[in-house]
Amino acid sequence: MSVTAKTTINIAREEISDSSRGYWREVFQRLRRDPVAMACGTLILLLLAAVIFAPWIGLQDPVTGSMIQRLKPVGTPGHVLGTDELGRDMLSRLVYGGRLTLMLGLLPVLFALVIGTALGVFAGYAGGIFNTVIMRVVDVFFAFPSILLAIAISGALGAGIVNSLVSLTIVFIPPITRVAESVTASVRSLEYVDAARISGAGPLTVVRVHVLGNVLSPIFVYATSLTSVSMILAAGLSFLGLGVRPPEPEWGLMLNTLRTAIYIDPLIAALPGVMIFLTSLCLNLLSDGLRSAMNVKD
């Protein structure tokens, strides 16, 4: 009896996981038919691989350079992408810089996704006074343009990687909370939630089984659309001197320190910006592809 019980439970579990696997497989298949999204996804993956494995792919030291090697042009032997104003290898600095820029760009969205989803789903499902309090506070944060909010918090906290992470996370919590609240409220009014309630399931179970599964994908897609903004903001903070401190390589900071070099070698000076631009373009296009791939079902 207990053996059969176990096997049936396993079968049941397998069916459940199979069904959710089915959904993601469907999304992935639609995504595969979207050449733009696939190309961007591949580029992002390559970039991620490069920055993660940066110490092991034979790059030069990104923080020490030699003064006689300053501002060598692109294509110099030994320095494929040239050197910066302190004679440091640009290729190495761009790869290591991507490390910090991507981290500062992506982590805040991830943190905000977790916090904002929790707040928004709670506000949307609980309603009433909880909803009012949370959403009114969110309204206040919406009174700040995102860049202004980031600069305000970072400016008060001072420069530094952690402070940047904190300020950008705070910037993205309100919009994610608002989206999570609105999708949760609309799912909550659907009758299958009523049906689940009258089956005697407690609020936590109803949220976990019936609400989360149906609100996570729109929230997630929305969060992916924020990654590009987040990265531009993160680099922007460093550009202003509010993020990463020299001599650590970071794209926004590199852009700032290389500004003096635009009269000597504009191409070198533009390189970090090209990286920010390309990465943010890929993130945007991938997010668009994901949005259309996930929306087909409903």
Partner 1 sequence: MLTYFIQRLVYVVPVALGVSVFCFLLVHIAPGDPLTAVMPIDATAEQQAAMRAAYGFDKPLPVQFLVWLGNALAGDLGNSIATGRPVAGEVMRAVGNTLILAFAASLIGFSLGILFGFIAGYFKDTPIDRAVTALSITGVSVPNYWLGIVLVVIFSVMLGWLPSTGAGPGGSSAWRWDVEHLRFIVLPAVTLSVVPMGIVARTVRALVGDVLSQDFVTALAAKGMGRAGILRHVMRNVAPTTLSVVGLQLGYLLGGSILIETVFNWPGTGFLLSNAIFQRDLPLLQGTILVLALFFVFVNLLVDLVQPLVDPRIKRT
Partner 2 sequence: MTDQQGTDLNASPDRGGPAQPLVIARSLKRYFPIRKGLIGRRKGAVQAVDDVSFTVRKGETLGIVGESGCGKSTTARLLVGLTDIDSGDLIFDGDKLGATLTHKELWAGVQMVFQDSYASLNPRMTIEDTIAFGPKMRGVAPQQAHAAARDLLARVGLAPERFAARYPHELSGGQRQRVNIARALAMRPRLIILDEAVSALDKSVEAQVLNLLADLKAEFGLTYVFISHDLNVVRFISDRIMVMYLGEVVEIGPVESLWKKRAHPYTAALFAAMPSMDPDNRTEVPPLTGDPPNPINPPTGCRFHTRCRFAEEVCATMKPAARPVGGEAAHMAACHMLDPQSGHTMAGARGQEMADG
Peptide bond into 246 cis (omega under 30): no
208 to 247: interface string for partner 1, x by CB under 8 A = --------------------x---x--xx--xxxx-----
| 48 residue type, one letter | L
How many other CB atoms sit within 10 Å of the CB of residue 153?
20
- Residue 89's beta-bridge partner residues? 83
Helix extents (H) in 145-245: 146-157, 161-188, 191-197, 203-205, 212-239
Q: How many CA atoms lie within 13 A of 196 on its CB side?
A: 18
* Residue 202 binds partner 1, judged by CB under 8 A: no
CB 290 within 8 A of CB 221: yes
CB 27 within 8 A of CB 286: no
Nearest to 196 by CA among 186, 185, 207, 184: 207
List 24, 28, 53, 192, residue binding partner 2 (CB under 8 A): 192
* Residue 195 binds partner 1, judged by CB under 8 A: no
Map residue 79 onto helix, strand or coil: strand
Q: Give the distance from CA 69 to its chain's centroid.
A: 36
∠ Cα 192 198 201 (to 5°): 90
Residue 76 φ/ψ, nearest 5 degrees: -65, 135
List 14, 17, 20, 292, residue binding partner 2 (CB under 8 A): 20
Stretch that binds partner 1, among 14-22, 92-100, 105-113, 136-144 (CB under 8 A): 136-144
* Residue 101 binds partner 1, judged by CB under 8 A: no
| Residues near partner 1 (CB under 8 A), total | 45
In the complex, the smallest distance separating the C-beta of residue 102 from partner 2, rounded to whole angstroms, is 32
152 to 171: interface string for partner 2, x by CB under 8 A = --------------------
| Residues near partner 2 (CB under 8 A), total | 29
Look at residue 144 and give the partner it binds from partner 2, partner 1, none, a contact being a CB closer than 5 to 8 Å depending on partner kind.
Answer: partner 1
User: Which of residues 52 and 278 has its CB atom nearest to partner 1 in the complex?
Assistant: 278
Stretch that binds partner 2, among 63-71, 198-206, 237-245, 272-280 (CB under 8 A): 198-206
List 73, 145, 203, 213, residue binding partner 2 (CB under 8 A): 213
Stretch that binds partner 2, among 1-9, 47-55, 244-252, 276-284 (CB under 8 A): 1-9
Nearest to 169 by CA among 158, 180, 153: 153
CB 82 within 8 A of CB 268: yes
Look up residue 159 and give its DSSP letter: S
Look at residue 285 and give the partner it binds from partner 1, partner 2, none, a contact being a CB closer than 5 to 8 Å depending on partner kind.
Answer: partner 1
* Residue 77 binds partner 1, judged by CB under 8 A: no
Residue 34 φ/ψ, nearest 5 degrees: -105, 95
Stretch that binds partner 1, among 19-27, 63-71, 137-145, 204-212 (CB under 8 A): 137-145
List 139, 189, 199, 297, residue binding partner 1 (CB under 8 A): 139
Structure token digits, residue 51: 């920055």
* Residue 5 binds partner 2, judged by CB under 8 A: yes
Interface residues with partner 2 (CB under 8 A) are 4-5, 8-9, 12, 15-16, 19-20, 23, 132, 190-192, 194-201, 205, 209-210, 213-214, 297-298
